[in-house]
Amino acid sequence: MKHNEKLRDEGEARIIQPTLPPEIKARLDCLLDALECMDARVTRELEQLNNSGAEEDLKEFVRQDIVARHESRRLPLQNALEELRAEYRSAISDTSSSQMAVEVTRAASRARAANG
């Protein structure tokens, strides 16, 4: 899985990224793997087409067909990724709001204790 390769640069390793919930990570990995496979298959098809002995006009017609089919098949997965991103952002903001509420409650409790 290319999308899961280790960070190459030590500086990149220091960047703190939020941890994905397991269910979102599993769906993300599945979608990215599917897109990677689709892209690789189309790349192979286009290479075969380019290496064929067909006339250039025919190659161009077939190339356009391959690309159009690829884009139409890829679109639902891209949309699913966007939905997953929105779900993740929502979960992060909900978590951030919850954490902020806990911190505010704790601060209020400390302030009451200090005043009381």
Domain boundaries, the chain: 21-115
pLDDT top residue among 76 and 6: 76
Distance CA(18)–CA(88), nearest Å, equals 10
Contact 51, 93 (CB under 8 A): no
Residue 35, burial from CB neighbour count under 10 angstroms (0-12, 13-18, 19+): middle
Q: pTM for this one?
A: 0.63
Among 18-27, 41-50, 101-110, the range with the most confident prediction by mean pLDDT is: 41-50
Interior angle at CA 29, CA 37 and CA 4, nearest 5 = 85
pLDDT top residue among 68 and 12: 68
Q: Output the CA–CA distances (angstroms, integers) from residue 84 to 25, 29, 36, in the order listed.
A: 10, 11, 17
**114 — pLDDT class (breaks 50, 70, 90):** low
Please compute the mean of the pLDDT values over residues 63-86 and round it to a whole number: 94
